[in-house]
Chain A
Amino acid sequence: INMDPLFLAWSYFRRRKFQLCADVCSKILEENPFDQDAENTSLASEAAWSLKTRALTETVYIDEVDVDHEGIAEMLDENAIAQVARPGTSLKLPGTSQGGGPTPSVRPMTHAGRPVTGFVRPSTQSGRPGTMEQAIKTPRTGHTARPVTSASGRYVRLGTASMLTSPEGPFLNMSRLNLSKYAQMPNLSKSLFEYIFHNENDIKNATDLAALATEHAQFKDWWWKVQLGKCYYRLGLHREAEKQFKSALSQQEMVDAFLYLAKVYQRLDQPLTALNLFKQGLDRFPGEVTLLTGIARIHEEMNNIASATEYYKEVLKQDNTHVEAIACIGSNHFYTDQPEIALRFYRNRRLLQMGVYNCQLYNNLGLCCFYAQQYDMTLTSFERALSLVANDEELADVWYNLGHVAVGIGDLNLAYQCFKLALANNNDHAEAYNNLAVLELRKGRVEQAKAFLQTASSLAPHMYEPHFNFAALSDKV
């Protein structure tokens, strides 16, 4: 007996076998095609069509709250009121430390001149260099490159991915869709919108559909307002996005809408407004983890590490498997000279239970073990980190940290080799250049040390070590 194909497709969808689901749906659609203009299309083909859009969306779905790719074009900010914001009111002044966090002499900096965090998200990855000049300069090192605009970044590449898989071309032909017709079918329009937004990445058409649909719903459906806001945000129309989210919130308060609205304020560089908004959200949804995390992230970005840690602790009280909170508190303890407490966070069984089993975790464990004087675990952790690396940059970082262990035990030959290995794997590793220079100088090779220091300072102008060392060296000679 054959199962009803539509039921089978549903079953695949529920079991998250999206490709299989889409294939079954395609078969159903081949037999009786879905035609939006025809009056006599069967309900089954309509359902299959809708299910296929949903399955294809799920294959490339990523949480829109987390995704934020700021391109160079976005830096030409026409919303800015003042060139130099007052201290404590902007995310773009990395230098103003108010929270009593560790100084750069203890805690390394990212390219943007911020202290490194314990956790990366798509939006923190680009490092947000503060000025245009920095932004244009940093792409020199391949993996920190910033796209010219957010529209040419990851989104597009992922959007075209779906087309490559099917030889008969894309599932839907955007230019031939009659959007106004779909907008009047509430049971189809939502899945179609998500398909256009996530798969096709065709924000213009998605905006059109959302605008038509919200009109059709007589501006009474908060969901369409949130979607419209998302589109406006992607198009860079931040004020319009703000209006939509606010209107959605006045209709129906949802955590999602709070998060999106806060994202708009952060893009507009208004961290204090975003903080207020999060607090409003917390009044409505007490103890909501995503809102608490949002507050902690803003504090961290404003260099207010102490209050960020407070909020991350609050997050852990609500959800003790929260990887971001564990990682951030752990790294904070490490850089405030409490490696044994950091070790407790990283060795936390919950991290492994959450499926965090990667090179980064074992590297951190190794470092914490070494500085907490648990030497038996150190090298095994690093060995495991080395066996888990995914790319050359990670490998370079692990070797670099191993070099520190070698310096710590006084084996300078090993340290030299470790730093050399770091450079062999990532030729842009400025920290390794600097440390090599120090070792070279101990061997009395001044010229070599000078060359390394110069390379380090040109690769990473934000670090103070190469400049300091070069000055000290020049003073001596």
Chain B
Amino acid sequence: MPEVKSMFREVLPKQGQLSMEDVPTMVLCKPKLLPLKSVTLEKLEKMQQETQELVRQQEMALREQMHQEQPG
């Protein structure tokens, strides 16, 4: 479109100094790929979780026992 071309002409400074201001911008932390877990680590975590569950159940049972014994 020739009309537009006449409206916007590019400006290329042929002389003088070109200056640019360097504005410090904020940086975001980068996206985080999550590491996959090794088999050993998964097994360790699973065992730990099971043990914790077991201990909790036993403690609950113990507490219930105490409760039952107290009123009687």
Using a CB–CB cutoff of 8 Å, the interface residues on chain A facing chain B are: 60, 62-63, 66-67, 105-108, 116-122, 125, 154, 157-158, 161, 164-165, 323-324, 327, 330-331, 334-335, 356, 358-361, 363-364, 367, 371, 394, 397-398, 400-401, 404, 407, 430-432, 434-435, 437-438, 441, 463, 465, 468-469, 471-473, 475-476
Contacts and interface: CB of A to CB of B under 8 A. Distances in A.
User: Closest 10 interchain pairs by CB?
Assistant: A431-B29, A360-B34, A472-B24, A66-B40, A161-B51, A438-B26, A404-B31, A327-B36, A120-B35, A121-B38
B60 interface: no
A361 B37 CA distance: 10
Interface stretch (B2-10, B11-19, B41-49): B41-49
B25 A164 contact: no
B55 A472 contact: no
Interface of B: 24-38, 40-41, 43-44, 47-48, 50-51, 54-55, 58
A434 B28 contact: yes
Contacts of B41: 66, 120-122, 125
Contacts of A323: 36, 38
Nearest to A121: B38
A158 B54 CA distance: 12
23 contacts: A60-B47, A62-B43, A66-B41, A121-B38, A121-B41, A122-B38, A164-B51, A164-B55, A165-B54, A323-B36, A324-B38, A331-B35, A335-B30, A363-B34, A364-B33, A371-B31, A404-B28, A404-B31, A430-B29, A431-B32, A434-B28, A438-B27, A465-B29
Contacts of A62: 40, 43-44
A154 B44 contact: yes
Nearest to A342: B33
B30 A106 contact: yes
Contacts, number: 123
Given A108-B32, A400-B32, A469-B27, A66 B51 contact: no
Contacts of A122: 38, 40-41, 44
A398 B34 CA distance: 9
Contacts of A438: 26-28
B20 to A, nearest CB: 18
Given A120-B38, A360-B37, 16 more contacts: A107-B30, A117-B35, A118-B35, A121-B38, A122-B41, A157-B48, A165-B54, A327-B36, A359-B34, A360-B35, A367-B33, A431-B29, A437-B26, A465-B29, A468-B27, A475-B24
Given A121-B38, A164-B54, A363-B34, A434 B29 contact: yes
A393 B40 CA distance: 20
Would you call the interface of chain A mostly helix, strand, loop, or mixed? helix
A401 B32 contact: yes
A147 to B, nearest CB: 13
B27 A118 contact: no
Nearest to B25: A472
A154 B48 contact: yes
A7 to B, nearest CB: 29
Contacts of A472: 24-26
B69 to A, nearest CB: 18
Contacts of B30: 106-108, 335
A453 to B, nearest CB: 9
Contact of B28 (A164, A363, A367, A407): A407
